[in-house]
Amino acid sequence: MSDQREGSMRRDRRTLQLPRRNSSQGPNMDDDSDNSRCPSPLLTVDGGYRIDPFFRYPISRVSRGVQFMTDYYIQIWAPQQAQSLKMQNGGNALLTLILPLALQNAMLFEATIGMTRAAWLLRRGCEPMEDKMLLRHKGATLLHLRNALEAGRQARSDLVLLTMSTLLTFNYMIDDVESFEVHLRALENLLQSYDPDEDNELQNFVRGRVLAYATRINEPGHRISILTYPGHPFPADLCELIAKLPDGFAEVALSRNIAIEFISFLVRLTELVDWYALATDQEMPRPRPEMTMQRAIYDLQCLSALPLNQIEAQMVKALLAFCLHLYNEVSFHIPLARPLRPIIEGFNEQTEIPRHPWLRLCLLWCSLAIASSWDAQIDASPERHVVLDGLIARLQEARSWEGMQGTMSKFFWHDRLADHWEVCWRAALFRSHRYRRGASQMASIPHLLIENSRESSKSSDGLQ
């Protein structure tokens, strides 16, 4: 009898067990609601960046979105900031100093997740302040920070300094000027209460960040303010920057249609593209530039969130597609249709062609760079390249491949992408010829109908 009772109890316990989640389903990165189940730390995130599945998080409820953002911070965002946040021993300050404390303190952890979420959303071309998960973690951070400041004795703690520094970066990323300036002044006032001679490594880190932001915000045209556009006569230092650009981008810069900050970025990107073009030369190896391709992609995604004019917005989209395409060709060879879709859709929404000849040629480069990056993906559906087709129909330079080569080489050219560009251009040229032939045939139909009606009327008169 006892054996039968134990067997029935085991069966009852088995029936009460919760069903396992289907492992084939991908994680919903927006799943940060109160109703989401906390997965076991033994389970890995599909498509995530998990290093240590046994992290102990400092908050009570850890959703899959929080886990993914933690992994994204460790594997993607923090390594991209390695150059600007390098410690004296060569380590990454974000991973060496900040992350261990964030995994022990709820306030700093919430701020880190919110900032990482903003970076993740900007990379996908989304509006950060429309994301519920980001707003939830930002609100939790501000609540913890207010409680810490009201406590008095905790106001000068290193955790408060690091949290406010993280919020400073967060506001800088999302272009929130008012909040950025408030947190910058608060940090400056808070740091004044410390003795500089007694600063530890964390305080030195925060002082460096505040100094960097304060210096940048005092410069004309800093990143989170209105962009600065040059006027005649150009300053000598700006002329030196423009001289480092390819001929096409230099002419666009001289047209005063792109901001000085954009020009500075183009100079650094030119160095990187030139390095990629000559990196295979074993006889004359070149030193690697400071900017990496990952950093260039990240900066372009941040640039897209700024109030750009039409040609700047089109250039940012094209440069982003170009960098993704080139980086994929030389590194990963993975499908890119998902990150490219919002780029091509946004690009084709603006069909107006500028009057300035160099802006037209620049738009031609942009349209072919975006169209070829899309057509080269195995997971891409057929798409109408409205801007490219319109430019090929109007510009004489686009009627032959030799002319297109000359145009493309005036901007960014890379041999790894040349075949993709030619195939895409020939397809667009075929569409243009087919459209013109079809339009001429359609235009002749009314005349044929009129002639037929006249002939029929004459024949009817003759019969009468």
The model's pTM is 0.58
Residues 195 and 72 in one domain: yes
451 domain residue, yes or no: no
pLDDT per residue as tens digits for the range 54-67: 567 888 778 888 88
Residues 409 and 275 in one domain: yes
135 domain residue, yes or no: yes
454 domain residue, yes or no: no
pLDDT at 75: 82
Distance CA 70, CA 99 (A): 9
Compute the average pLDDT of residues 143-162: 79
- Residue pair 184/217 in contact (Cβ under 8 Å)? The answer is yes
Burial class (CB in 10 A: 0-12, 13-18, 19+), 259: buried
Residue type, 304: S
Averaged pLDDT of the chain:
75
Distance CA 283, CA 281 (A): 6
Distance CA 449, CA 128 (A): 58
Split at pLDDT 50, 70, 90, the class of 42 is very low
pLDDT per residue as tens digits for the range 116-151: 999 888 877 778 888 899 999 999 999 998 888 887
Residues 111 and 256 in one domain: no
- Residue pair 188/210 in contact (Cβ under 8 Å)? The answer is yes
Residues 200 and 241 in one domain: no
- Residue pair 47/26 in contact (Cβ under 8 Å)? The answer is yes
Q: Is the pLDDT of residue 302 over 50?
A: yes
pLDDT at 53: 55
Q: How many CB atoms lie within 10 A of CB 168?
A: 23
Residues 82 and 139 in one domain: yes
Strand partners, 86: 92
Decide: helix, strand or coil at residue 86.
strand
444 domain residue, yes or no: no
| Residue 275, domain extent | 236-279+288-437
Split at pLDDT 50, 70, 90, the class of 243 is very high
**Chain length of the chain:** 464
404 domain residue, yes or no: yes
Distance CA 110, CA 32 (A): 13
Q: Is the pLDDT of residue 449 over 70?
A: no
Residue type, 53: P
Distance CA 181, CA 64 (A): 33
Distance CA 437, CA 440 (A): 5
Q: How many CB atoms lie within 10 A of CB 349?
A: 10
pLDDT at 456: 47
Residues 262 and 408 in one domain: yes
Q: Is the pLDDT of residue 462 over 60?
A: no
Residues 292 and 413 in one domain: yes
Compute the average pLDDT of residues 249-265: 89
Q: Is the pLDDT of residue 306 over 80?
A: no
Residues 327 and 423 in one domain: yes
Report which DSSP code applies to 396: G
Compute the average pLDDT of residues 316-338: 84
Q: Is the pLDDT of residue 227 over 70?
A: yes
Pick the residue with more confidence: 34 or 94? 94
pLDDT at 57: 81
Decide: helix, strand or coil at residue 151.
coil
Compute the average pLDDT of residues 298-317: 84
CA distances, 402 to each of 399, 405, 425 (Å): 9, 5, 11
Q: Is the pLDDT of residue 337 over 70?
A: yes
Residues 116 and 186 in one domain: yes
Residues 185 and 334 in one domain: no
pLDDT at 179: 84
pLDDT per residue as tens digits for the range 344-388: 888 888 778 888 889 989 999 999 999 888 888 877 676 778 888
pLDDT at 117: 92
3 domain residue, yes or no: no
Q: Which of these, 112, 128, 110, lies nearest to 61 by C-alpha position?
A: 110
Compute the average pLDDT of residues 440-446: 42
Distance CA 166, CA 48 (A): 23
Residues 244 and 210 in one domain: no
Region at 221 (left for phi over 0; alpha for psi -120 to 50; beta for the rest): left
Residue 33 token pair: 């609601």
CA distances, 325 to each of 3, 118, 123, 251, 414 (Å): 66, 24, 15, 25, 11
Decide: helix, strand or coil at residue 92.
strand
Write a three-state SS string for 157-211: CHHHHHHHHHHHHHHHHCCCHHHHHHHHHHHHHHHHCCCHHHCCHHHHHHHHHHH
pLDDT at 350: 79
Distance CA 351, CA 385 (A): 10
The share of the chain scoring above pLDDT 90, in percent, equals 13
pLDDT at 150: 82
Q: Which residue is it, tokens 């380590």?
A: 91
Q: Is the pLDDT of residue 298 over 50?
A: yes
121 domain residue, yes or no: yes
Q: Which of 140-149, 235-244, 253-262, 329-338 has the lowest mean pLDDT?
A: 329-338
Q: Is the pLDDT of residue 221 over 50?
A: no
360 domain residue, yes or no: yes
- Sequence-distant (6+) residues with CB within 8 A of 289 are 268, 271, 272, 275
Residues 241 and 213 in one domain: no
The total of structural domains in the chain comes to: 2
